[in-house]
C-alpha cells in the first residue's frame, strides 16, 4: 500500500532529477525505503545509508529547503512507472455520445447521423439517441417509437439496449452500447452518399450530432 501511494505521488519524477553521488547539496531531508522519516541529515550520511541498503538516493523535491530525498530502488521505480503509463495509454474511456433526431428528419440526414452513431459504437462508446419534439409533434410519439425501433433493428446484434425509449419532457431518449466489440467494428456500416462514412463529432460528452 505504501509503495503504491509512493508511486502515485512521485509518478512525475523526471529523469533529470539527481540521484546518488549527483546530489551535492547538504543537508537533506530523507525518507527511507520503509517510508520512515529519517529527518534532516548530511548528504554523505544519506548516501551511505542508501548504499548499505543496496538502493538509490533520489532527490525527489529539489526545490525544497532542505531538498527531500528518498531511498528507493530507482530502476524498479522507473520500470513500474513505465508499465503504469503504458496501461494508462492503452485504457479506453467509455463516453456517452448523443445523436439528435427529429420526427421529420429526412432519410439523407438520418443516414449521416447513423454514420456518426456507428462510428461512436465502433470506438466503444455508448450512444444516446434523442428525439426532439416541437409543438404538436409531441402527439406523434408513435413515429419516434417506430424510428427508434428501426434504428435498433438496423444495428442488430452488434448493440445492446442500455435504456429503453422513454419520454422526458419534449424529448424521447434511448441509449445503446456495443454488445460485442470487434476489431473490424460494426458490420454493415452505413455509407454517406459520397461512399465514405460520415465523420463523427469529437466534442466532449454528451455530444450532439445535430
Q: Is there a single domain that holds both residue 138 and residue 41?
A: no
Q: What is the pLDDT of residue 32?
A: 92
- Residue 45's pLDDT is 94
pLDDT value for 69: 94
DSSP state, residue 26: S
Mark whether 185 and 136 lie in a shared domain.
yes
- Residue 186 near residue 122, CB atoms below 8 Å: yes
Last residue of a domain, one of 90, 109, 124: 90
- Which grid cell sits at 120? 461512436
Instruction: Output the pLDDT for position 183.
Output: 47
Residue 180 confidence (pLDDT) = 65
Q: Which domain holds residue 191?
A: 92-210
Domain check: are 104 and 197 in the same one?
A: yes
CATH number of the CATH domain containing 60: 3.10.20.80
What pLDDT score does 16 carry?
Answer: 63
The Cβ-side half-sphere exposure at 39, using a 13 Å CA radius, reads 1
| Ranges assigned E (strand) in 43-149 | 56-61, 68-72, 96-101, 126-132
118 and 203 fall within a common domain = yes
Same domain, 66 and 120: no
How far is Cα 65 from Cα 79, in angstroms, rounded to an integer?
Answer: 29
**Residues 47 and 131 both lie in one domain:** no
Domain count, the chain: 2
H/E segment holding residue 84? helix 74-90
Residues 113 and 53 in one domain: no
Q: Quote the cell numbers at residue 156.
A: 442488430
Cell numbers describing residue 204: 466532449
State if pTM tops 0.75. Answer: no
Q: Do 64 and 116 reside in the same domain of the chain?
A: no
pLDDT under 50: residue ranges of the chain: 1, 3, 6-15, 182-184, 186-210
- Residue 125 maps to which CATH number? 3.30.110.10
Amino acid at each position: 500500500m505504501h509503495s503504491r501511494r509512493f508511486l502515485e505521488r512521485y509518478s512525475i519524477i523526471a529523469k533529470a532529477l539527481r540521484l546518488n553521488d549527483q546530489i551535492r547539496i547538504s543537508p537533506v531531508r530523507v525518507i527511507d525505503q520503509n517510508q520512515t522519516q529519517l529527518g534532516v541529515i548530511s548528504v554523505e550520511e544519506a548516501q551511505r545509508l542508501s548504499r548499505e541498503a543496496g538502493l538509490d538516493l533520489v532527490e525527489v523535491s529539489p526545490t525544497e529547503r532542505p531538498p527531500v530525498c528518498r531511498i528507493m530502488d530507482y530502476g524498479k521505480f522507473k520500470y513500474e512507472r513505465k508499465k503504469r503509463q503504458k496501461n494508462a495509454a492503452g485504457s479506453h474511456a467509455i463516453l456517452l455520445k448523443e445523436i439528435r433526431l427529429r420526427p421529420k428528419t429526412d432519410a439523407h440526414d438520418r443516414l449521416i447521423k447513423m454514420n456518426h452513431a456507428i462510428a461512436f459504437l465502433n470506438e466503444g462508446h455508448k450512444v444516446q439517441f434523442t428525439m426532439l419534439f416541437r409543438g404538436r409533434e409531441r402527439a406523434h410519439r408513435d413515429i419516434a417509437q417506430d424510428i427508434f425501433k428501426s434504428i435498433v433493428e438496423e444495428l442488430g446484434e452488434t448493440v445492446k439496449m442500455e435504456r429503453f425509449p422513454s419520454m422526458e419532457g419534449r424529448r424521447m431518449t434511448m441509449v445503446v452500447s456495443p454488445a460485442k466489440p470487434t476489431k473490424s467494428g460494426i458490420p454493415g456500416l452505413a455509407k454517406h452518399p459520397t461512399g465514405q462514412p460520415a465523420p463523427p463529432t469529437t466534442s466532449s460528452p454528451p455530444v450532439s450530432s445535430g
